[in-house]
Chains A and B, each alone.
Chain A
Amino acid sequence: MAKLLIRNGRVIDPANRIDRVADVLLANGIVRGVGENLPSRGAEEFDATGLIVAPGFIDMHVHLREPGFESSETIESGSKAAAAGGFTSVCCMPNTSPVNDTAHLTRYIIERAKQVAKVNVFPIGAITKGSAGEELASIGAMQAAGTVAISDDGRPVMNSRVMRRAMEIAASFDIPVIDHCEDLNLSAGGDMHEGLASLRYGLRGIPACSEDVMVARDILLAEVTGARFHVAHLSTTNAIAMVAEAKRRGLRVTCEVTPHHFAIHDLEITPYDSNYKMKPPIRCSHDVAAMIEGIKAGYIDAIATDHAPHSVTDKMQEFERCPFGILGLETAIGLSLECLVHPGHITIERMIELFTTGPAGILKLNRGALTPGLPADVTLLDLESKWTYDVNKSASKSRNSPFDGKVFRGRAVGTIVSGELIWQA
């Protein structure tokens, strides 16, 4: 499709401070313009009356599982799930098998995505070889190959000296360091948030302080090194307070939260249902409130899903034995609308910002806006349509979601990548 004219939608483009009914013209894969009554000039027209036309949503934290764990997800299936969730771009974490810790593997993921992915795929490279936390990976080479950030996600970098060196090098390449902040000595053996619910169910707890101490350490190291440090899936009250303080002090610290961390608390989970097992764990109501307050106050820079597919076989085990992680791509917008926008905590503009300019800015993706000349990625939203999430109809290869059967109000109804409508509800 060479030209697409999206007519009469409510265009919300936070980067350009646009919020009005207008047309959006896309041509040859780039945004041509936003305005009233744009001439079609041979473009195919899409009537977006009653819909919101937003820049393409970016999920800066997903697990596509390829290579190595294709029974759970592939680049193709994960990208289809992204499209069905309204995302035009995803950033995939390196904890594949082998770990994406080389330029060679980064290039493989990019090439594979070009062949099979519905959406844009940006690899994140490992901080250390094999994400083992000991020897630094080839950060510069990976960045040259297309890596947009480095992270050992799934694991923290426990060795503070190694993290310091990684930040020094990352700073010199101006590539962000994303840390999975968890002190493994404090969280060892834990299965869910340490609190009243874990005591009641007899499950070993993951204390909030296991996250806090690593966020604190990393902020201190970011200050020493001048690195751009990004907290992955932040989930605790103290962690957000520390990020807020770091921002006040002018440090280059950013953070993301996942929808499940602002949607449910530990006393709401179905006991022993492995679909509620993830890291960081679902925290207590106090932390959930802090996530929402952090979003309202502007301390949180992005919403990311931490989409973590696991096969039914892997998840169908005793809670203590099954792996951590849940699907996220197809429920993120519904949860964000339900928990943030509909109750009036934030505006829809702010929500769009958290899915577009927020992650784009952290990763320097040159996307996330409807600025003429940028890639023609667009997400179409219907804020009112009621729908029920049926995990068995998910585009993902996995089925591990605690939100199966949940009724939502509002969703993505169209996903446009490079000017092509690749998914429609």
Chain B
Amino acid sequence: MTKGLLDIEALDRAEIESLLTRAVDFQPLQTQRDKRLDLLDGRLVVNLFFEASTRTRISFEIAAKRLGADAISISAQGSSVSKGETLLDTVSTLSAMKPDAIVMRHAASGAPHFLARHLPTIPIINAGDGQHEHPTQALLDARTILDNRASLEGLRVAIIGDILHSRVARSNIHLLSKFGVDIVLCGPAPLVPQDLKHIAPGVSITHDIKQALRDTDIIMMLRVQLERQNETNFPAGEYSRFYGLRAENLALAKPDAIVMHPGPMNRGREISTEVADSSRSVILSQVENGIAVRMAVLERVLQ
């Protein structure tokens, strides 16, 4: 099978380190006047977004273009998908147009794996599949952590929120676990099932945010998936009180702890504006690193 990037779970530590190291080379481009390299000149990347996304799609587009590749973005709305075409037919049609890689976001977990099995000649990069994984998000998160810490080893990372439905959490758990990080998952019990502690080594669970935050190096807040609140997983009105990150509970973490969020944020719900905009927040650095990391991924897949 052609080498794409379907998930973090299957990547070994050396591959992750290689991508994170290479991303460093691309970071300075963000501030240069001439931001374009021609490492992938003449290559075609198709961004196939079956689920609404702005930041990830644009980040991949910019990453491709900065490497000199042509990038075409297609969304499900208005495409043949909305006319009832199957996923396999859509991508088969696109593959006949000979792209060099497909970046895909899809609401169904495993959709990129399904395609990779049936279209083994085109590398597929997972830009987020359902509730499964979002591998480039975990890579950019790791890059952001490493911009603030010497290494991942020995860190204590709290991931707080709706873990059950979060592809960001899954990818981060797999990545951080490979580096021996102490990972604390925290959120309402229906959104943090006990079996999650067996998903990777080094994972523990608490439903008490104070316990999760205590002596923590890195705080990863997750978006409250408002669209799922009708499932009565947790009373929406109480979420902020018990699981929101505010200045007073942030004080429980290490003094130099950083606050991360994959966005989009629900200010006043999972995170207070005061914290989101504080000097501890590296949320915009995450967005910036997204481009460098995705450049590294595209280069790895296409070269």
A in complex with B: yes
Q: Which residues from 98 to 123 on chain B have a C-beta closer than 8 Å to any C-beta of chain A?
A: 106, 108-111, 113-114, 117-118
Contact across chains for A200 and B106 when beta carbons are under 8 A apart: no
Interface assignment of B285: CB less than 8 Å from any CB of chain A = no
Cα distance A86–B114 in the bound complex, in angstroms: 34
Q: A202-B167, A272-B109 are in contact. Are A317 and B87 (CB under 8 A)?
A: yes
- CB contacts (< 8 Å) of B193 on chain A: these are 199
Q: A202-B170, A203-B109, A272-B109 are in contact. Are A320 and B130 (CB under 8 A)?
A: yes
Cα distance A204–B133 in the bound complex, in angstroms: 14
Interface assignment of B88: CB less than 8 Å from any CB of chain A = yes
Q: Could you tell me the distance in whole angstroms from the C-beta of A333 to the nearest C-beta in chain B?
A: 30
Contact across chains for A196 and B199 when beta carbons are under 8 A apart: yes
Contact across chains for A202 and B195 when beta carbons are under 8 A apart: no
Tally chain B residues at the interface, Cβ within 8 Å.
26
Q: A316-B86, A316-B88 are in contact. Are A201 and B195 (CB under 8 A)?
A: no
Q: Which residues from 261 to 304 on chain A have a C-beta closer than 8 Å to any C-beta of chain B?
A: 271-273
Interface assignment of B155: CB less than 8 Å from any CB of chain A = no
Contact across chains for A318 and B108 when beta carbons are under 8 A apart: yes
Cα distance A318–B167 in the bound complex, in angstroms: 17
When C-beta atoms are compared, the residue in chain A nearest to B169 turns out to be: A202
Q: Which residues from 124 to 140 on chain B have a C-beta closer than 8 Å to any C-beta of chain A?
A: 129-133
Interface assignment of B181: CB less than 8 Å from any CB of chain A = no
Interface assignment of B198: CB less than 8 Å from any CB of chain A = yes
Interface assignment of B196: CB less than 8 Å from any CB of chain A = yes
Contact across chains for A321 and B108 when beta carbons are under 8 A apart: yes
Contact across chains for B108 and A320 when beta carbons are under 8 A apart: yes
Interface assignment of A389: CB less than 8 Å from any CB of chain B = no
Report A141-162 CB contacts with B as 1/0, cut-off 8 Å: 0000000000000000000000
Instruction: Determine which of A195, A196, A271, A319 lies in contact with B108 in the assembled complex, contact meaning CB atoms within 8 Å.
Output: A319
Report A299-338 CB contacts with B as 1/0, cut-off 8 Å: 0000000000000010011111100000000000000000
Contact across chains for A202 and B88 when beta carbons are under 8 A apart: no
Cα distance A168–B72 in the bound complex, in angstroms: 64
Tell which of B9, B114, B118, B131 has the most Cβ of chain A within 10 Å: B114
Range of interface residues on A (Cβ < 8 Å): 10 to 19
Cα distance A273–B109 in the bound complex, in angstroms: 12
Contact across chains for B195 and A199 when beta carbons are under 8 A apart: yes
- CB contacts (< 8 Å) of B133 on chain A: these are 202
Cα distance A196–B9 in the bound complex, in angstroms: 14
Contact across chains for B132 and A319 when beta carbons are under 8 A apart: no
Q: Could you tell me the distance in whole angstroms from the C-beta of B11 to the nearest C-beta in chain A?
A: 15
Cα distance A321–B114 in the bound complex, in angstroms: 12
Cα distance A200–B164 in the bound complex, in angstroms: 10
Q: Which residues from 194 to 231 on chain A have a C-beta closer than 8 Å to any C-beta of chain B?
A: 195-196, 199-204
When C-beta atoms are compared, the residue in chain B nearest to A320 turns out to be: B108
Cα distance A29–B143 in the bound complex, in angstroms: 76
Tell which of B87, B131, B133 has the most Cβ of chain A within 10 Å: B131
- CB contacts (< 8 Å) of B86 on chain A: these are 313, 316-317
- CB contacts (< 8 Å) of A195 on chain B: these are 195
Q: A196-B195, A316-B88, A319-B108 are in contact. Are A202 and B113 (CB under 8 A)?
A: no
- CB contacts (< 8 Å) of A319 on chain B: these are 108-110, 114
Cα distance A201–B10 in the bound complex, in angstroms: 12
Q: Could you tell me the distance in whole angstroms from the C-beta of B51 to the nearest C-beta in chain A?
A: 12
When C-beta atoms are compared, the residue in chain B nearest to A319 turns out to be: B110
Report A180-205 CB contacts with B as 1/0, cut-off 8 Å: 00000000000000011001111110
Contact across chains for A201 and B199 when beta carbons are under 8 A apart: no
Cα distance A195–B193 in the bound complex, in angstroms: 9
Q: Could you tell me the distance in whole angstroms from the C-beta of B161 to the nearest C-beta in chain A?
A: 15
When C-beta atoms are compared, the residue in chain A nearest to B107 turns out to be: A320
Instruction: Determine which of A196, A199, A271 lies in contact with B110 in the assembled complex, contact meaning CB atoms within 8 Å.
Output: A271
Q: Could you tell me the distance in whole angstroms from the C-beta of A22 to the nearest C-beta in chain B?
A: 51
- CB contacts (< 8 Å) of B198 on chain A: these are 196
Cα distance A226–B152 in the bound complex, in angstroms: 64
Cα distance A273–B114 in the bound complex, in angstroms: 7
When C-beta atoms are compared, the residue in chain B nearest to A318 turns out to be: B108
Q: Could you tell me the distance in whole angstroms from the C-beta of A189 to the nearest C-beta in chain B?
A: 9
The 8 closest A-B pairs by CB, nearest first: A202-B132, A272-B110, A202-B131, A318-B108, A202-B109, A320-B108, A272-B113, A196-B195
Interface residues of B (CB under 8 A from A): 9, 86-88, 106, 108-111, 113-114, 117-118, 129-133, 164, 167, 170, 193, 195-196, 198-199
Interface residues of A (CB under 8 A from B): 195-196, 199-204, 271-273, 313, 316-321
User: Could you show 12 A-B contacts with beta carbons less than 8 Å apart?
Assistant: A199-B164, A201-B109, A202-B109, A202-B170, A203-B110, A271-B110, A272-B109, A273-B117, A318-B106, A319-B114, A320-B109, A321-B108
